[in-house]
Structure 1
């Protein structure tokens, strides 16, 4: 499970990790984007009626694949109150691993702004409202409430110029990737972590 606030590198990491592991990536935003394609005039900046159906489809898809014995990489920007109820039933038959993505709030704001202007699929999401909430102090990505399950958890921060190398501590690992580090090295380490190594 790849979790964290919006624009922290979750989707990029989830896609790369799934490709590296050779398993499906289940991305909540792509599920919602597929729903929006069938809803002309959809307005994500209001009380979005597709959020709950997208959440339900996301967990239903993960459940079907896990029950079939499929390893999956699932990604969403849910906080604990949305993740935990969907994950708790899965813990009875799946070995859940959690990667929590983090990045500074200023980087989050810049990334949301950039992708709102460059990615037409982002029209399915409330990026403009999220930016307005950040500017008004209503939403702070640093106060994101992470998944609180008894599961192995890894923290990962996307690359910046000054990040120390990827490291592991006890049953958790902290991913901080310096510039110049090969993404493959990180994926091998992260993939090993997810497989239990």
Structure 2
């Protein structure tokens, strides 16, 4: 559970969240923006990969509750950094039903802005599968069922994605071919008071 910090910290805390479906380009954009504005990128999948490495294990052997533990660790990490007034980029899928409650809690202690990475579902699925097939560790870390199906010659339909719908400043970015709006415009959106 996230703890609520004094509201006086809000003026300095500036988390930027990057949601999107798998394959939408959110991790690449998160790291690009973090380098550009000078702050850490906290990526949910990277936290999970670190955990799987520490356990010297695989997604499948860690049990069905591993993702819930990573979810909690991700938000505890954000809460910890924000409580110390550290601006950051937070990257994860942020599906509305699961992710909205902790984002609302964070919005009580910080000035959140959301950038939703948008791409046509079939392009996102294609990127997701290509990434999984080209990275031998992807299945070990995440147990991606879509990649496993592709290895067996089965093409699964793109999944549904429900971005967070919160009363928070939000910018949609088309990542089909580069960034639209342009990277400089995205940075301006993030840095605007």
Q: Give TM class, smaller chain.
A: 0.7 to 0.9
- Relative contact order higher in (CA < 8 Å, ≥ 6 apart): 2
Distance (whole Å) between structure 1 residues aligned to residue 121 and residue 65 of structure 2: 27
Distance (whole Å) between structure 2 residues aligned to residue 176 and residue 17 of structure 1: 14
Distance (whole Å) between structure 1 residues aligned to residue 40 and residue 20 of structure 2: 20
Distance (whole Å) between structure 1 residues aligned to residue 107 and residue 48 of structure 2: 25
Question: What whole-Å deviation, never above 9, does each CA across 1:124-165 have from its counterpart, x for those lacking one?
Answer: 11323467499454xx44x311101110001011143xx9xx
What aligned pairs does 1:52-91 form with structure 2 within 5 A after superposition?
Answer: 52-91=68-107
Distance (whole Å) between structure 2 residues aligned to residue 121 and residue 26 of structure 1: 20
Query: SS state of the match for residue 58, structure 1?
Result: helix
The CA deviation at 1:47 is 6.4
Q: Which runs of 5+ in 2 are unaligned?
A: 1-16
Query: In structure 2, what is the equivalent of residue 127 of structure 1?
Result: 144
Query: In structure 1, what is the equivalent of residue 180 of structure 2?
Result: 176
Query: In structure 2, what is the equivalent of residue 157 of structure 1?
Result: 174
Aligned residues: 173
Distance (whole Å) between structure 2 residues aligned to residue 157 and residue 33 of structure 1: 27
Superposition RMSD on alpha carbons, in Å? 2.5
1:157–1:70 CA distance, 2 compared to 1 (3 A): same
1:106–1:46 CA distance, 2 compared to 1 (3 A): farther
Query: In structure 2, what is the equivalent of residue 42 of structure 1?
Result: 58
Query: SS state of the match for residue 101, structure 1?
Result: strand
Query: In structure 2, what is the equivalent of residue 188 of structure 1?
Result: 184
Q: Which runs of 5+ in 1 are unaligned?
A: 164-174, 178-185
User: Normalised by the size of structure 2, how large is the TM-score?
Assistant: 0.79
Query: In structure 2, what is the equivalent of residue 147 of structure 1?
Result: 164
1:48–1:129 CA distance, 2 compared to 1 (3 A): farther
Distance (whole Å) between structure 1 residues aligned to residue 22 and residue 183 of structure 2: 21
Structure with more strand by fraction: 1
